[in-house]
């Protein structure tokens, strides 16, 4: 199980499309240049000293000039970086960039990342009019990049689309020896496929290397300091940047924070509890609605959902298409709408259909999670998430050790615990070896870093934001009391204004502000 599914704006928009209640797709259709977009795009002269490399052999990367070209109403370019920073004279790779120019008085570039790991940052920037408020869009060019190994930036590849379908649909909590053996084979096929199809790239898509790319991007944009908004896994990128390049850190916002000090087991255990909390909140809300397919108390409603998941595991449900709803899809279809309270009505419809024997909407929600379209996968996020995560932390246990872990996980989450316990095997046999280990994050020397946490966040539990704010020497905690993943743009004006004032004017809120 990943540390994040997808950036919240995309989930809400895509779910709306599935239900036919909005015309937005997962990446909103861009307006054309003929509709009044800019006819040209160029950056101002680089700020003094902005392109000075940290080492002389990196000068050609830090001093490169980006060649922007029109792509619908945005502007696209590529950034050249070394595959291996230990060998800057060796092989290079190209990273995809997309910029939405400032609509008002430009004060600089705001680099954004939606998380994942594996979600394309270019898509995030392309959706700036939905993801970011008008004050930010007026003041900044919103610049997204596909991190190395993702999207259009030297994407890693592990499985064919057909094999990836089977892998995602597979039983996420095998409960017989035969099912466990089948899951182990599927996992081995995945990691071996990464090595076979991606070659040396599997050693060079770590978070640390992405952060080094981020500093090259800052220099190529001509910015003396990096202004950055990172959501979910994007907070790990931002926190690592504050640690490796504190003198280049500008206004950094880390929203839906990860706790980089946790072990893989601790991360999975606490995330399982986070999803249980989110599902309980949903069930409580649903039972108060007239059209809720659940009955009785909150605990009884939760049990009805567990029974449904068990029944799908035993016998897949038909859908309106050619694919069935299998156990893995049912799990992802259940958790995806928990990322935003606006998506809870979609889960109600999906559950009502599933109780009636129709898995169509749950499968559609699962496809949003995996970025699967009608004819195949829109990007490689379902593969990149595992490669990046395992390269950062390859720890894993063999399948025979999972049963001993299940009781702890089921205490944390009666609904999801066994699935998260089995996720501890995900990196078993992973062939990659990181060129540089992740640092112990402190951000010593960085200016104030704004860390945002939501009290009932399913994917990045609130205590992770508290922990990251403590670990960063200049961390400042902002709390949103609410449901859903991340804080910005979730309907809380206090949070939105605080983040915008910080990014635009450098106004640092009181540490511990609650909204």
Q: What are the catalytic residues? A: 232, 457, 485
Residue 338, exposed/middle/buried by CB under 10 A (0-12, 13-18, 19+)?
buried
- Rounded to whole angstroms, how far apart are CA atoms 486 and 267? 17
Q: Name every residue whose Cβ is closer than 8 Å to that of residue 478 and which is 6 or more positions away in sequence.
A: 450, 451, 452, 453, 487, 495, 498, 499, 509, 513, 515
Q: What is the DSSP string of 223-274?
A: -SSEEEEEETHHHHHHHHHHHH-GGGEEEEEEES---TTS-HHHHHHHHHHH
Residue 62's SS3 state is helix
Residue 200's SS3 state is helix
Residue 53's SS3 state is coil
Q: Name every residue whose Cβ is closer than 8 Å to that of residue 433 and which is 6 or more positions away in sequence.
A: 203, 391, 394
- Rounded to whole angstroms, how far apart are CA atoms 276 and 486? 17
DSSP letter at 514 equals: E
Rg (CA), the chain: 22
Side-chain-side CA neighbours of residue 301 (13 Å) = 21
């Amino acid at each position: 199980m990943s540390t994040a599914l997808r950036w919240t704006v995309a989930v809400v928009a895509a779910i709306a499309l599935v239900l036919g209640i909005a015309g937005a797709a997962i990446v909103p259709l861009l307006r054309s240049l003929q509709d009044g977009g800019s006819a040209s795009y160029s950056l101002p002269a680089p700020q003094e000293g902005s392109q000075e490399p940290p080492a002389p052999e990196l000068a050609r990367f830090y001093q490169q000039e980006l060649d922007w070209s029109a792509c619908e109403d945005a502007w696209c370019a590529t950034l050249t970086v070394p595959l291996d920073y230990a060998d800057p004279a060796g092989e290079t790779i190209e990273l995809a960039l997309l910029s939405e120019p400032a609509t008002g008085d430009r004060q600089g570039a705001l680099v954004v990342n939606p998380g994942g790991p594996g979600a394309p940052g270019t898509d995030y920037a392309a959706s700036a009019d939905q993801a970011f408020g008008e004050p930010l869009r007026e003041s900044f060019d919103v610049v997204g990049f596909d991190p190395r190994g993702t999207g259009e930036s030297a994407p890693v590849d592990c499985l064919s689309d057909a094999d990836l379908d089977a892998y995602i649909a597979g039983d996420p909590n095998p409960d017989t020896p035969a099912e466990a053996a089948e899951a182990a084979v599927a996992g081995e096929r995945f990691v071996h496929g990464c090595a076979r199809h991606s070659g040396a790239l599997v050693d060079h898509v770590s978070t640390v290397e992405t952060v080094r790319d981020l500093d090259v991007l800052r220099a190529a944009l001509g910015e003396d300091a990096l202004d950055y908004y990172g959501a979910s896994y994007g907070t790990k990128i931002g926190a690592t940047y504050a640690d490796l390049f504190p003198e280049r850190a500008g206004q950094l916002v880390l929203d839906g924070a990860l706790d980089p000090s946790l072990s893989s087991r601790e991360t999975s255990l606490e995330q399982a509890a986070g999803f249980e909390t989110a599902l309980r909140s949903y069930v409580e809300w649903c039972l108060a609605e007239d059209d809720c397919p659940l009955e009785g108390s909150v605990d009884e409603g939760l049990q009805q959902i567990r029974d449904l998941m068990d029944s799908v595991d035993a016998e897949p449900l038909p859908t309106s298409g050619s694919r069935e709803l299998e156990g893995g899809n049912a799990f992802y279809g259940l958790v995806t709408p928990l990322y935003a309270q606006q998506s809870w009505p979609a889960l109600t419809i999906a559950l009502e259909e599933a109780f009636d024997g129709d898995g169509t909407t749950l499968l559609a929600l699962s496809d949003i999670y995996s970025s699967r379209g009608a004819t195949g996968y829109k990007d490689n996020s379902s593969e990149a998430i595992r490669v990046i995560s395992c390269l950062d932390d390859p720890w894993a246990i063999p399948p025979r050790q999972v049963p001993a872990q299940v009781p702890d996980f089921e205490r944390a989450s009666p609904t999801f615990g066994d699935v998260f316990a089995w996720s501890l095997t995900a990196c078993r046999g992973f062939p990659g070896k990181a060129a540089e280990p992740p640092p112990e994050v402190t951000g010593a020397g960085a200016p104030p870093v704004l860390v945002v946490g939501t009290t009932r966040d399913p994917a990045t539990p609130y205590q992770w934001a508290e922990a990251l704010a403590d670990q960063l020497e200049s961390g400042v905690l902002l709390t949103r009391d609410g449901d859903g993943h991340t804080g910005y743009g979730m309907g809380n004006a206090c949070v939105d204004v605080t983040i915008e004032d910080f990014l635009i004017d450098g106004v640092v809120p009181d540490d511990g502000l609650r909204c």
